[in-house]
Amino acid sequence: MSANSRLTIAAHALAWIGLYQRQGHEVATSEQIATSANTNPVVIRRLLGELRRAGLVESRRGAGAGWSLARELESMTLLDVYEAVEPGPLFAMHRTTPDQGCVVGHGIQPAMQNIYEGIEETLRHELARVTLETVLRDVLAAPR
Amino acid sequence: MSANSRLTIAAHALAWIGLYQRQGHEVATSEQIATSANTNPVVIRRLLGELRRAGLVESRRGAGAGWSLARELESMTLLDVYEAVEPGPLFAMHRTTPDQGCVVGHGIQPAMQNIYEGIEETLRHELARVTLETVLRDVLAAPR
DNA sequence: ATGGTCGCAACCTTTTCTGTTACGACTACA
DNA sequence: TGTAGTCGTAACAGAAAAGGTTGCGACCAT
């Protein structure tokens, strides 16, 4: 599916910030999170920027700057994160308009659009069932 | 999500073949289907080749060659098509292994893997509810 | 024998995602 | 007031995937 890792990395970042704050720290830096996720700080800042626009995190600038949660992990779901970092639909239509003179070419897009909408609704429902608190709990439950 | 159009095009092709056969024709050519989908015949042959490996269609070579359904549209679901044409998982993990020395970096992949598996199972369930017969019916029901 | 079609490999272009560098903006603190 | 540390963002490079295109051998009904 040519899947991307945005949802995974965003969840990683949120879990990291959440745990760090529970350990008494005020803010986490993109540098620290990037080290944990084994990627570049700019990648983290970009993703967290989208999460900030969605109201999930806040950032502070200047010296001693960094990122903090805007809400409890308990109140965030994977759906919130998904909608913040994934722009498009799950399934794409034809890249070029099908032949409108053909019965199938004419009816296929509305038909698939309808079907896909129902499926994406179910997907969103599933994503909404998983809170970031659950994610962190599962992360900490991993055998070492 | 960087979605691709394979599922859409494959469903288009199957609906086209199915309708064409109901009109009394034995086989459909990749050329005809490509015209309806407004793409290249090789693209169609590639996709139908995968559907053939999955036992959904058959092809005949030589003169008067082409494609036909291997089963009734009624007995094919979008899940059959999806599994035939989509190789990978819906969501990707980190591109590089996260820091195993970090609690989050260590536990994040098994945690997300588990969550994703449940979600993909639900997705498959939804796809399995839609038959290609339904798709064709919806296609023909489109207002003109 | 021939013409129409599939099978498949090879290559190109476009798009998307990720990584990287660079640098200005901002602010706590000395 | 200066400075160091961090964010914000633009710009570009590299990798990967999807889709489009061409070419040609294999196949077979006629």
Chain B residue numbers with beta carbons less than 8 Å from the beta carbon of A106 are 142, 144
The mean pLDDT of chain A is 96
Q: Is A131 left (phi over 0), alpha (psi -120 to 50) or beta?
A: beta
Collapse the DSSP code of B66 into the 3-class scheme (helix H, G, I; strand E, B; otherwise coil) and give the result.
strand
CA A67 to C1' D5, in angstroms, rounded, equals 14
Q: Provide the CA A97 distance to its chain's centre, in angstroms.
A: 31
At residue B133, what are phi and psi to the nearest 5 degrees? -65, -40
- What residues does each domain of chain A span? 6-140
Query: Which residue of chain B has the CA closest to A142?
Result: B107
Other residues' Cβ atoms within 10 Å of the Cβ of residue A100: 12
How do residues A11-43 score in pLDDT, each as one tens digit?
999 999 999 999 999 999 999 999 999 999 999
Q: Where are the beta strands (DSSP E) in A9-63?
A: 57-60
Q: Does A135 touch chain B (CB under 8 A)?
A: yes
Alpha-helical runs (H) found in chain B: 6-22, 30-37, 41-53, 78-85, 103-128, 132-140
Domain made up of A6-140: CATH architecture: Orthogonal Bundle (1.10)
Q: Residue A2's pLDDT is what? A: 67
As beta bridge partners, residue A124 has: none
Q: Where are the beta strands (DSSP E) in chain B?
A: 57-60, 66-69
Tokens, residue B5: 């159009």
Chain A residue numbers with beta carbons less than 8 Å from the beta carbon of B95 are 5, 39
Closest by Cα among A91, A79, A97, A99 to B130: A91
Domain made up of B6-87+131-140: CATH architecture: Orthogonal Bundle (1.10)
Query: CA-to-CA distance for A68 and B24, rounded, in angstroms?
Result: 66
CA within 13 Å, CB half, A72 = 4
Q: Tell me the nt nearest to A94, Cα to C1'.
A: D19
Q: What is the pLDDT along chain B (144 residues), one digit of tens a residue?
A: 668 999 999 999 999 999 999 999 999 999 999 999 999 999 999 999 999 999 999 999 988 899 999 999 999 999 999 999 998 899 999 999 999 999 999 999 999 999 999 999 999 999 999 999 999 999 999 998
Q: Does A63 touch chain B (CB under 8 A)?
A: no
* Residue whose Cα is closest to the C1' of C19: A40
DSSP-derived secondary structure letter, A77? B
What percentage of chain B's residues is helix, strand, coil (to nearest 5)?
Answer: 60, 10, 35
Query: CA-to-CA distance for B139 and A107, rounded, in angstroms?
Result: 4
Query: CA-to-CA distance for B98 and A139, rounded, in angstroms?
Result: 13
